[in-house]
């Protein structure tokens, strides 16, 4: 098996990974980006709130980024899934699904997170289209519309306060007994926000655009959009296996220079923060690229 050597291997070649590759390519570093093409926003037709790219499709933004990055001759891109990373003396060995054996001095995980679907029939068909995660990304398109929030407890209470900025037709669906306190419910009523505790059977939709929610008791509720606070897991389990500290919220712990708790390993983008946006991922990737280059120069 051929071993190929790089200064930096970036695992994950979406917004964070490509931005890091751009900084490193411009620093004339020998870089390999490995990506298997499953960014978390791939289901959404239009990406919003990233300056110069507002309303463009997520894939077009990433393709444009990749085209620009690949103009730097020291950067290579590989379409593959990374299965394992091992630390051996002063270097890392990266193994891929197509049996490649690669080495690098530094590793950047820009691997993102995986949203866990809630197990409601047809929810997945609506995810990213009319079942959405963030009002800054998609709230403007549904302003003033009949909107749901699939969440419970304190999170539902706090998120609903924010969403009320975009619509005064908001209903919280707890999909089972509500854990919102009665004091919180009283405050919600003042804003005309009501709570529905019925168990949800399915989303009725047309091409991902929700029309109504059907409950297990057979009744329905008409909706134009629904926000969902989903659980998530790290898209790649490798950082944790390597010993990188994961914080209580499930994100890779990093310092202000994108370094993880393991020397030589960095992380950037959604895998490190709940501030989930293309702009934030791009900013973090740019920073990671600059500090990896800095550490290569200073021998850290
Ligand atoms: C439905 C939805 C809609 C959104 N809409 C917007 C919006 O309108 N505006 C906005 O600003 N933000 C939006 N976001 C948030 C935005 O998409 C994310 O913040 C952004 O994609 C994070 O970029 P990232 O590079 O960290 O991770 P991702 O874009 O998720 O990319 C991670 C990449 O790493 C790859 N990868 C993971 N593990 C491996 C491995 N072991 N080997 C190889 N490759 C691997 C994945 O395949 C993927 O390509 C949305 C998110 C969702 C879920």
Measured in angstroms, how far is the CA atom of residue 276 from the centroid of ligand 1? 9
Residue owning the nearest CA to atom 13 of ligand 1? 277
Taking alpha carbons only, the member of 250, 245, 259, 238 closest to residue 97 is 238
Q: Looking at residue 298, what is its pLDDT?
A: 95
300, pLDDT greater than 90: no
Report pLDDT digits (tens) over 94-148: 999 988 889 999 999 999 999 999 999 999 999 999 999 999 999 999 999 999 9
pLDDT in tens, 206-221: 999 999 999 999 999 9
Quote the pTM value: 0.97
Using the predicted structure, report yes or no on whether residue 196 has a pLDDT greater than 90. Answer: yes
pLDDT for 1 beyond 90: no
Q: Which residues line ligand 1 (CB under 6 A)?
A: 11-12, 14-17, 34-41, 43-44, 47-50, 81-82, 110-112, 115, 127-128, 133, 137-138, 235-236, 269-270, 276-279, 281
Give the chain's domains with CATH numbers.
Answer: 4-115+231-298 (3.50.50.60), 123-228 (3.50.50.60)
User: What's residue 2's pLDDT?
Assistant: 57
Q: How confident is the model at residue 66 (pLDDT cuts 50, 70, 90)?
A: very high
């Amino acid at each position: 098996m051929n071993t190929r050597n790089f200064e930096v291997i970036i695992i994950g070649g979406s917004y964070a990974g490509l931005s890091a590759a751009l900084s490193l390519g411009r620093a004339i570093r020998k870089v390999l980006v490995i990506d298997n093409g499953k960014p978390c926003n791939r289901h959404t037709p239009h990406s919003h709130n990233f300056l110069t790219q507002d309303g463009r499709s997520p894939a077009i933004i990433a393709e444009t980024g990749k085209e620009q990055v690949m103009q730097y001759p020291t950067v290579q891109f590989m379409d593959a899934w990374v299965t394992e990373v091992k630390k051996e003396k002063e270097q890392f060995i990266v193994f891929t699904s197509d049996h490649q054996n690669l080495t690098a001095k530094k590793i950047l995980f820009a691997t993102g997170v995986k949203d866990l679907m809630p197990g409601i029939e047809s929810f997945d068909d609506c995810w990213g289209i009319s079942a959405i995660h963030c009002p800054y990304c998609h709230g403007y398109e549904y302003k003033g519309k009949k909107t749901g929030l699939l969440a419970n407890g304190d999170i539902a209470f706090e998120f609903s306060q924010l969403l009320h900025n975009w619509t005064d037709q908001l209903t919280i669906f707890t999909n089972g007994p509500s854990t919102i306190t009665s004091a919180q419910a009283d405050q919600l009523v003042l804003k005309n926000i009501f709570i529905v505790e019925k168990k949800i059977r399915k989303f009725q939709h047309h091409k991902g655009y929700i029309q109504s929610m059907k409950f297990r008791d057979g009744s329905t509720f008409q909706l134009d959009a629904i926000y969902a606070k989903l659980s998530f897991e790290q898209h790649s389990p490798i950082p944790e296996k390597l010993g990188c500290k994961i914080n209580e919220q499930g994100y890779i712990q990093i310092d202000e220079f994108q370094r993880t708790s393991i020397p030589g390993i960095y992380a950037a983008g959604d895998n490190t923060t709940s501030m989930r946006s293309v702009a934030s991922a791009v900013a973090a990737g740019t920073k990671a690229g600059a500090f990896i280059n800095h550490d290569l120069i200073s021998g850290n």
